[in-house]
Structure 1
Amino acid sequence: MEALLNDFSPGLFIVQTILLLILIGLMVKFAWKPIMNSLEERESGIEDALAAAENARKEMQNLNADNERLLKEAREERDAMMKEARHISDNMIAEAKEDAKEVTATLIEKAQASIQQEKQAALAEIKKSVAELSISIAESVIKKELSNKKDQLDLVEGILKDVTLN
Protein backbone atom coordinates (compact mmCIF):
# COMPACT_ATOMS: atom_id res chain seq x y z
CA MET A 1 0.00 0.00 0.00
CA GLU A 2 2.92 2.27 0.66
CA ALA A 3 4.03 1.94 -2.90
CA LEU A 4 0.67 3.06 -4.02
CA LEU A 5 0.82 6.16 -1.90
CA ASN A 6 4.33 6.93 -3.08
CA ASP A 7 3.31 6.71 -6.73
CA PHE A 8 0.19 8.83 -6.22
CA SER A 9 0.13 12.02 -8.21
CA PRO A 10 -2.63 14.53 -7.42
CA GLY A 11 -2.47 16.14 -10.87
CA LEU A 12 -2.86 12.81 -12.63
CA PHE A 13 -5.71 11.97 -10.30
CA ILE A 14 -7.57 15.17 -11.14
CA VAL A 15 -7.00 14.74 -14.89
CA GLN A 16 -8.23 11.17 -14.76
CA THR A 17 -11.24 12.23 -12.68
CA ILE A 18 -12.08 14.99 -15.19
CA LEU A 19 -11.69 12.58 -18.10
CA LEU A 20 -13.88 10.04 -16.33
CA LEU A 21 -16.54 12.70 -15.70
CA ILE A 22 -16.38 13.83 -19.35
CA LEU A 23 -16.59 10.26 -20.50
CA ILE A 24 -19.60 9.65 -18.22
CA GLY A 25 -21.17 12.91 -19.49
CA LEU A 26 -20.64 11.88 -23.12
CA MET A 27 -21.99 8.43 -22.40
CA VAL A 28 -25.07 9.89 -20.71
CA LYS A 29 -25.62 12.38 -23.52
CA PHE A 30 -25.00 10.10 -26.52
CA ALA A 31 -25.21 6.46 -25.43
CA TRP A 32 -27.52 6.34 -22.41
CA LYS A 33 -30.70 7.36 -24.25
CA PRO A 34 -30.26 4.93 -27.19
CA ILE A 35 -29.35 2.11 -24.76
CA MET A 36 -32.38 2.89 -22.58
CA ASN A 37 -34.61 3.20 -25.68
CA SER A 38 -33.43 -0.16 -27.02
CA LEU A 39 -33.92 -1.72 -23.55
CA GLU A 40 -37.45 -0.27 -23.39
CA GLU A 41 -38.16 -1.47 -26.93
CA ARG A 42 -36.89 -4.92 -26.05
CA GLU A 43 -38.94 -4.93 -22.84
CA SER A 44 -42.09 -3.87 -24.71
CA GLY A 45 -41.33 -6.47 -27.43
CA ILE A 46 -41.03 -9.17 -24.77
CA GLU A 47 -44.27 -7.96 -23.14
CA ASP A 48 -45.99 -7.99 -26.55
CA ALA A 49 -44.65 -11.47 -27.23
CA LEU A 50 -45.88 -12.65 -23.82
CA ALA A 51 -49.27 -11.05 -24.46
CA ALA A 52 -49.39 -12.65 -27.91
CA ALA A 53 -48.44 -16.01 -26.38
CA GLU A 54 -51.16 -15.58 -23.74
CA ASN A 55 -53.66 -14.67 -26.48
CA ALA A 56 -52.55 -17.67 -28.50
CA ARG A 57 -52.96 -19.89 -25.43
CA LYS A 58 -56.45 -18.51 -24.83
CA GLU A 59 -57.27 -18.91 -28.52
CA MET A 60 -55.96 -22.47 -28.38
CA GLN A 61 -58.15 -23.17 -25.35
CA ASN A 62 -61.12 -21.69 -27.20
CA LEU A 63 -60.32 -23.78 -30.26
CA ASN A 64 -59.97 -26.90 -28.11
CA ALA A 65 -63.29 -26.12 -26.45
CA ASP A 66 -64.88 -25.53 -29.88
CA ASN A 67 -63.35 -28.74 -31.19
CA GLU A 68 -64.67 -30.67 -28.20
CA ARG A 69 -68.10 -29.11 -28.67
CA LEU A 70 -68.08 -29.85 -32.40
CA LEU A 71 -66.88 -33.39 -31.74
CA LYS A 72 -69.65 -33.87 -29.18
CA GLU A 73 -72.23 -32.48 -31.62
CA ALA A 74 -70.89 -34.70 -34.39
CA ARG A 75 -71.12 -37.74 -32.11
CA GLU A 76 -74.66 -36.83 -31.12
CA GLU A 77 -75.60 -36.29 -34.75
CA ARG A 78 -73.96 -39.59 -35.72
CA ASP A 79 -75.83 -41.37 -32.92
CA ALA A 80 -79.09 -39.77 -34.04
CA MET A 81 -78.42 -40.77 -37.65
CA MET A 82 -77.57 -44.32 -36.59
CA LYS A 83 -80.73 -44.50 -34.49
CA GLU A 84 -82.79 -43.19 -37.40
CA ALA A 85 -81.09 -45.63 -39.80
CA ARG A 86 -81.84 -48.51 -37.41
CA HIS A 87 -85.44 -47.34 -37.15
CA ILE A 88 -85.77 -47.10 -40.94
CA SER A 89 -84.09 -50.50 -41.31
CA ASP A 90 -86.44 -52.05 -38.77
CA ASN A 91 -89.43 -50.50 -40.54
CA MET A 92 -88.22 -51.75 -43.91
CA ILE A 93 -87.69 -55.25 -42.50
CA ALA A 94 -91.14 -55.21 -40.88
CA GLU A 95 -92.73 -53.99 -44.14
CA ALA A 96 -90.85 -56.62 -46.12
CA LYS A 97 -92.01 -59.33 -43.70
CA GLU A 98 -95.58 -58.06 -43.94
CA ASP A 99 -95.39 -57.95 -47.74
CA ALA A 100 -93.90 -61.45 -47.77
CA LYS A 101 -96.73 -62.68 -45.54
CA GLU A 102 -99.30 -61.11 -47.85
CA VAL A 103 -97.64 -62.53 -50.96
CA THR A 104 -97.32 -65.93 -49.30
CA ALA A 105 -100.97 -65.86 -48.24
CA THR A 106 -102.01 -64.86 -51.76
CA LEU A 107 -99.88 -67.60 -53.30
CA ILE A 108 -101.27 -70.16 -50.86
CA GLU A 109 -104.83 -69.08 -51.67
CA LYS A 110 -104.12 -69.27 -55.41
CA ALA A 111 -102.46 -72.66 -54.97
CA GLN A 112 -105.42 -73.95 -52.93
CA ALA A 113 -107.86 -72.61 -55.52
CA SER A 114 -105.80 -74.20 -58.28
CA ILE A 115 -105.67 -77.49 -56.37
CA GLN A 116 -109.43 -77.32 -55.82
CA GLN A 117 -110.02 -76.64 -59.54
CA GLU A 118 -107.70 -79.45 -60.55
CA LYS A 119 -109.42 -81.72 -58.02
CA GLN A 120 -112.83 -80.80 -59.45
CA ALA A 121 -111.53 -81.32 -62.98
CA ALA A 122 -110.01 -84.67 -61.98
CA LEU A 123 -113.25 -85.72 -60.29
CA ALA A 124 -115.25 -84.64 -63.33
CA GLU A 125 -112.81 -86.55 -65.56
CA ILE A 126 -113.08 -89.60 -63.31
CA LYS A 127 -116.89 -89.33 -63.29
CA LYS A 128 -116.88 -88.98 -67.06
CA SER A 129 -114.52 -91.95 -67.42
CA VAL A 130 -116.60 -94.00 -64.98
CA ALA A 131 -119.79 -93.01 -66.79
CA GLU A 132 -118.29 -93.87 -70.17
CA LEU A 133 -116.94 -97.11 -68.78
CA SER A 134 -120.29 -97.88 -67.14
CA ILE A 135 -122.13 -97.08 -70.33
CA SER A 136 -119.71 -99.19 -72.30
CA ILE A 137 -120.07 -102.10 -69.86
CA ALA A 138 -123.84 -101.68 -69.68
CA GLU A 139 -124.02 -101.49 -73.43
CA SER A 140 -122.05 -104.69 -73.77
CA VAL A 141 -124.15 -106.43 -71.14
CA ILE A 142 -127.40 -105.19 -72.60
CA LYS A 143 -126.42 -106.20 -76.11
CA LYS A 144 -125.78 -109.68 -74.92
CA GLU A 145 -128.89 -109.87 -72.74
CA LEU A 146 -131.21 -108.08 -75.04
CA SER A 147 -130.70 -109.51 -78.35
CA ASN A 148 -134.06 -108.59 -79.71
CA LYS A 149 -135.62 -105.16 -80.21
CA LYS A 150 -138.59 -105.62 -77.96
CA ASP A 151 -136.50 -106.37 -74.84
CA GLN A 152 -134.34 -103.31 -75.51
CA LEU A 153 -137.33 -100.99 -75.77
CA ASP A 154 -138.83 -102.33 -72.54
CA LEU A 155 -135.53 -101.77 -70.70
CA VAL A 156 -135.18 -98.18 -72.01
CA GLU A 157 -138.73 -97.34 -71.05
CA GLY A 158 -138.13 -98.72 -67.51
CA ILE A 159 -135.00 -96.68 -67.07
CA LEU A 160 -136.74 -93.54 -68.29
CA LYS A 161 -139.51 -94.07 -65.73
CA ASP A 162 -136.90 -94.47 -62.95
CA VAL A 163 -135.02 -91.31 -64.02
CA THR A 164 -138.16 -89.18 -64.15
CA LEU A 165 -139.30 -90.46 -60.75
CA ASN A 166 -136.01 -89.56 -59.06
Structure 2
Amino acid sequence: MELLVPEVGLVVFQTIAFLLLLFVLSKFAWKPALAAIKEREQSIDDALNKAELAKQEMARLTSQNEELMKQAREERDQMLKEAKAIKDNIVNEARTQAQAEGAKLIEKARIEIENQKKAALYELKSQVSSLSLDIAERVLRGQLDDKTKQEDLVANLLKDVELN
Protein backbone atom coordinates (compact mmCIF):
# COMPACT_ATOMS: atom_id res chain seq x y z
CA MET A 1 0.00 0.00 0.00
CA GLU A 2 2.83 2.23 0.06
CA LEU A 3 2.23 3.03 -3.55
CA LEU A 4 -1.20 4.28 -2.91
CA VAL A 5 -0.37 6.61 -0.01
CA PRO A 6 2.24 9.23 -0.80
CA GLU A 7 4.82 10.36 1.67
CA VAL A 8 4.55 13.78 3.33
CA GLY A 9 7.81 15.04 1.81
CA LEU A 10 6.63 14.14 -1.64
CA VAL A 11 3.29 15.93 -1.16
CA VAL A 12 5.07 19.07 0.15
CA PHE A 13 7.58 18.98 -2.69
CA GLN A 14 4.84 18.51 -5.29
CA THR A 15 2.78 21.33 -3.72
CA ILE A 16 5.80 23.69 -3.80
CA ALA A 17 6.54 22.65 -7.38
CA PHE A 18 2.88 23.17 -8.32
CA LEU A 19 2.77 26.62 -6.68
CA LEU A 20 6.08 27.57 -8.33
CA LEU A 21 4.73 26.35 -11.68
CA LEU A 22 1.50 28.25 -11.05
CA PHE A 23 3.47 31.45 -10.26
CA VAL A 24 5.73 31.08 -13.33
CA LEU A 25 2.75 30.33 -15.57
CA SER A 26 0.72 33.24 -14.19
CA LYS A 27 3.70 35.57 -14.63
CA PHE A 28 4.90 34.49 -18.06
CA ALA A 29 2.14 32.49 -19.74
CA TRP A 30 -1.29 33.52 -18.49
CA LYS A 31 -0.73 37.26 -18.62
CA PRO A 32 0.38 37.16 -22.27
CA ALA A 33 -2.36 34.60 -23.05
CA LEU A 34 -4.98 36.73 -21.27
CA ALA A 35 -3.58 39.85 -22.96
CA ALA A 36 -3.80 38.08 -26.34
CA ILE A 37 -7.35 36.97 -25.55
CA LYS A 38 -8.27 40.51 -24.44
CA GLU A 39 -6.64 41.92 -27.57
CA ARG A 40 -8.53 39.41 -29.72
CA GLU A 41 -11.75 40.24 -27.89
CA GLN A 42 -11.08 43.95 -28.43
CA SER A 43 -10.36 43.43 -32.13
CA ILE A 44 -13.60 41.42 -32.46
CA ASP A 45 -15.51 44.21 -30.70
CA ASP A 46 -13.84 46.77 -33.00
CA ALA A 47 -14.73 44.67 -36.04
CA LEU A 48 -18.34 44.38 -34.85
CA ASN A 49 -18.47 48.14 -34.23
CA LYS A 50 -16.99 48.80 -37.66
CA ALA A 51 -19.48 46.38 -39.22
CA GLU A 52 -22.32 48.20 -37.44
CA LEU A 53 -20.96 51.55 -38.62
CA ALA A 54 -20.65 50.16 -42.15
CA LYS A 55 -24.21 48.87 -41.93
CA GLN A 56 -25.41 52.30 -40.78
CA GLU A 57 -23.39 53.97 -43.54
CA MET A 58 -24.89 51.56 -46.10
CA ALA A 59 -28.37 52.35 -44.82
CA ARG A 60 -27.60 56.07 -45.03
CA LEU A 61 -26.17 55.69 -48.54
CA THR A 62 -29.15 53.58 -49.61
CA SER A 63 -31.51 56.21 -48.25
CA GLN A 64 -29.51 58.95 -49.94
CA ASN A 65 -29.46 56.95 -53.19
CA GLU A 66 -33.24 56.47 -53.02
CA GLU A 67 -33.66 60.22 -52.42
CA LEU A 68 -31.43 60.99 -55.40
CA MET A 69 -33.40 58.54 -57.54
CA LYS A 70 -36.64 60.18 -56.41
CA GLN A 71 -35.26 63.62 -57.30
CA ALA A 72 -34.03 62.31 -60.66
CA ARG A 73 -37.48 60.88 -61.39
CA GLU A 74 -39.11 64.16 -60.42
CA GLU A 75 -36.69 66.09 -62.64
CA ARG A 76 -37.32 63.63 -65.49
CA ASP A 77 -41.08 63.99 -65.06
CA GLN A 78 -40.72 67.78 -64.98
CA MET A 79 -38.57 67.72 -68.13
CA LEU A 80 -41.13 65.47 -69.85
CA LYS A 81 -43.94 67.85 -68.87
CA GLU A 82 -41.96 70.82 -70.18
CA ALA A 83 -41.14 68.97 -73.41
CA LYS A 84 -44.82 68.05 -73.86
CA ALA A 85 -45.85 71.66 -73.24
CA ILE A 86 -43.26 72.88 -75.75
CA LYS A 87 -44.41 70.26 -78.26
CA ASP A 88 -48.05 71.24 -77.78
CA ASN A 89 -47.11 74.91 -78.14
CA ILE A 90 -45.18 74.22 -81.36
CA VAL A 91 -48.05 72.11 -82.74
CA ASN A 92 -50.57 74.82 -81.88
CA GLU A 93 -48.39 77.51 -83.44
CA ALA A 94 -47.91 75.38 -86.56
CA ARG A 95 -51.66 74.70 -86.71
CA THR A 96 -52.43 78.41 -86.30
CA GLN A 97 -49.86 79.35 -88.90
CA ALA A 98 -51.17 76.67 -91.28
CA GLN A 99 -54.72 77.93 -90.79
CA ALA A 100 -53.59 81.50 -91.44
CA GLU A 101 -51.67 80.40 -94.54
CA GLY A 102 -54.70 78.38 -95.67
CA ALA A 103 -56.98 81.37 -95.13
CA LYS A 104 -54.56 83.56 -97.12
CA LEU A 105 -54.45 81.00 -99.95
CA ILE A 106 -58.24 80.69 -99.95
CA GLU A 107 -58.63 84.47 -100.01
CA LYS A 108 -56.07 84.72 -102.78
CA ALA A 109 -57.86 82.00 -104.77
CA ARG A 110 -61.23 83.72 -104.16
CA ILE A 111 -59.82 87.03 -105.42
CA GLU A 112 -58.28 85.27 -108.42
CA ILE A 113 -61.58 83.54 -109.17
CA GLU A 114 -63.42 86.86 -108.81
CA ASN A 115 -60.93 88.55 -111.16
CA GLN A 116 -61.24 85.73 -113.69
CA LYS A 117 -65.03 85.88 -113.38
CA LYS A 118 -64.96 89.63 -114.05
CA ALA A 119 -62.62 89.13 -116.99
CA ALA A 120 -64.86 86.36 -118.36
CA LEU A 121 -67.96 88.54 -117.93
CA TYR A 122 -66.20 91.44 -119.63
CA GLU A 123 -65.13 89.16 -122.46
CA LEU A 124 -68.67 87.75 -122.70
CA LYS A 125 -70.17 91.25 -122.74
CA SER A 126 -67.70 92.28 -125.41
CA GLN A 127 -68.60 89.28 -127.55
CA VAL A 128 -72.35 89.78 -126.97
CA SER A 129 -72.12 93.45 -127.85
CA SER A 130 -70.04 92.63 -130.91
CA LEU A 131 -72.54 89.97 -131.98
CA SER A 132 -75.43 92.32 -131.25
CA LEU A 133 -73.86 95.00 -133.38
CA ASP A 134 -73.26 92.52 -136.18
CA ILE A 135 -76.84 91.29 -136.00
CA ALA A 136 -78.20 94.82 -135.78
CA GLU A 137 -76.05 95.86 -138.72
CA ARG A 138 -77.30 92.96 -140.82
CA VAL A 139 -80.93 93.59 -139.82
CA LEU A 140 -80.59 97.30 -140.55
CA ARG A 141 -78.95 96.65 -143.88
CA GLY A 142 -81.79 94.36 -144.78
CA GLN A 143 -84.36 96.92 -143.70
CA LEU A 144 -82.57 99.93 -145.09
CA ASP A 145 -82.40 98.43 -148.56
CA ASP A 146 -86.04 99.13 -149.07
CA LYS A 147 -87.23 102.78 -148.91
CA THR A 148 -90.66 101.99 -147.45
CA LYS A 149 -89.11 99.89 -144.68
CA GLN A 150 -86.82 102.83 -143.86
CA GLU A 151 -89.76 105.19 -143.53
CA ASP A 152 -91.68 102.72 -141.32
CA LEU A 153 -88.60 102.26 -139.09
CA VAL A 154 -88.12 106.00 -138.65
CA ALA A 155 -91.83 106.41 -137.86
CA ASN A 156 -91.71 103.66 -135.23
CA LEU A 157 -88.58 105.16 -133.68
CA LEU A 158 -90.23 108.57 -133.52
CA LYS A 159 -93.27 107.06 -131.79
CA ASP A 160 -91.04 105.38 -129.19
CA VAL A 161 -89.13 108.59 -128.60
CA GLU A 162 -92.33 110.58 -128.14
CA LEU A 163 -93.71 108.09 -125.64
CA ASN A 164 -90.62 108.06 -123.49
Q: TM-score, normalised by structure 1?
A: 0.78
What is the match of residue 138 of structure 1? 136
* Counterparts of 1:62 and 1:4, CA distance in 2: 77
Match of 2:64 among 53, 66, 91: 66
* Counterpart residue type for residue 74 of structure 2: E
What is the match of residue 18 of structure 1? 16
* Counterparts of 1:4 and 1:65, CA distance in 2: 80
What is the match of residue 49 of structure 1? 47
What is the match of residue 76 of structure 1? 74
* Counterpart residue type for residue 64 of structure 1: T
Match of 1:39 among 34, 37, 40: 37
Correspondence 1:72-111 to 2 at 5 A: 72-111=70-109
Higher alpha-carbon deviation: 114-123 or 54-63: 54-63
* Counterparts of 1:135 and 1:12, CA distance in 2: 174
Kindly state the Cα deviation for residue 8 of structure 1 after the two structures are TM-superposed: 2.6
What is the match of residue 126 of structure 2? 128
| SS of structure 2 residue aligned to 1:8 | coil
Structure 2 unmatched ranges of 5 or more = none
* Counterparts of 1:135 and 1:4, CA distance in 2: 180
Kindly state the Cα deviation for residue 103 of structure 1 after the two structures are TM-superposed: 1.0
Instruction: Show CA shifts across 1:67-112 (max 9, x none).
Output: 1221221122122212212221221222122112211111111111
* Counterparts of 1:20 and 1:128, CA distance in 2: 153
The 1:65–1:6 alpha-carbon spacing in structure 2 relative to 1, beyond 3 Å, is: closer
Q: How many residues align?
A: 151
- Residue identity (%): 45
What is the match of residue 117 of structure 1? 115
Instruction: Show CA shifts across 1:122-159 (max 9, x none).
Output: 101111121222222223323333348xx7xxx9xx9x
Task: Give the RMSD, CA atoms, in angstroms.
Answer: 2.6
* Counterpart residue type for residue 136 of structure 2: A
Structure 1 unmatched ranges of 5 or more = none
Higher alpha-carbon deviation: 119-128 or 30-39: 30-39
Instruction: Show CA shifts across 1:29-53 (max 9, x none).
Output: 2212221221121111112111111
